[in-house]
Amino acid sequence: MKLNGGQMICQALLNEGVDTVFGIPGGAIMPLYQTLPQYPGLRHILVRHEQGASMAADGYGRVTGKVGVCFATSGPGATNLVTGLAGAMMDSVPMIAITGQVAREAIGTDAFQEADVTGVTLPVIKHNFLVMSAEELPRVMKEAFYLARTGRPGPVLVDVPKDVFVEEAEFEYPETVELPGYPPKMEGDPEAIKRAADLIAQAKRPVIFAGHGIIISEAYKELQEFAEKGQFPVTTTLLGIGSFKSDHVLNIGLPGMHGSAYANHMINDSDLLIALGMRFDDRVTSKVSLFAPNAKVIHVDIDPAELGKNVRPTVPIVGDVKHVLQQLIPLVEKADRRDWLSHIDELQRNHPLWFEEDDVLRPQDVIQEISDSTDGRAIIATGVGQHQMWAAQLYKFKEYNSFITSGGLGAMGFETPSAMGAQVGLPDRVVWTIAGDGGFQMTLTELATMVENQIPVKIALINNNSLGMVRQWQDIFYNHDYVATLYSGNPDFVKLAEAYGLLGIKVTRKDEVGPAVKQAMEWNGPVLVDFQVEQTENIYPFIPPGTGVDNIVEDPRLVKKRVR
Residues labelled as active-site residues = 50, 112-113, 162, 469
Residue 178 CA to residue 362 CA, distance in Å, equals: 55
CA nearest 454: which of 404, 520, 501? 501
Q: How far is CA 262 from the centre of its chain?
A: 24
Q: Which residues contact 26 (CB under 8 A, 6 or more apart)?
A: 72, 73, 74, 77, 100, 113
Q: In this structure, are strands 503-507 and 127-130 parallel, antiparallel, or unpaired?
A: unpaired
Contact 98, 9 (CB under 8 A): yes
Report the 10 Å Cβ neighbour count for 127. 18
Length of the chain: 564
Q: Which residues contact 303 (CB under 8 A, 6 or more apart)?
A: 151, 152
Q: How far is CA 480 from the centre of its chain?
A: 31
Residue 397 CA to residue 405 CA, distance in Å, equals: 14
CA nearest 231: which of 327, 328, 339, 322? 339
Q: How far is CA 494 from the centre of its chain?
A: 28
20-23: strand order across its sheet: 43-46, 20-23, 68-72, 95-101, 155-161, 127-130
Contact 469, 539 (CB under 8 A): yes
Three-state DSSP string of 534-549: CCCCCCCCECCCCCCH
Residue 547 CA to residue 292 CA, distance in Å, equals: 12
Which neighbouring-strand residues pair with 210? 236, 276
CA nearest 539: which of 458, 462, 486? 462
CA nearest 474: which of 414, 532, 535? 535
Q: How far is CA 307 from the centre of its chain?
A: 21
Helix and strand numbers, DSSP H then E, in the chain: 24, 20
Residue 206 CA to residue 196 CA, distance in Å, equals: 12
Q: Which residues contact 7 (CB under 8 A, 6 or more apart)?
A: 35, 38, 171
Residue 507 CA to residue 509 CA, distance in Å, equals: 6
Q: In this structure, are strands 458-463 and 527-532 parallel, antiparallel, or unpaired?
A: parallel
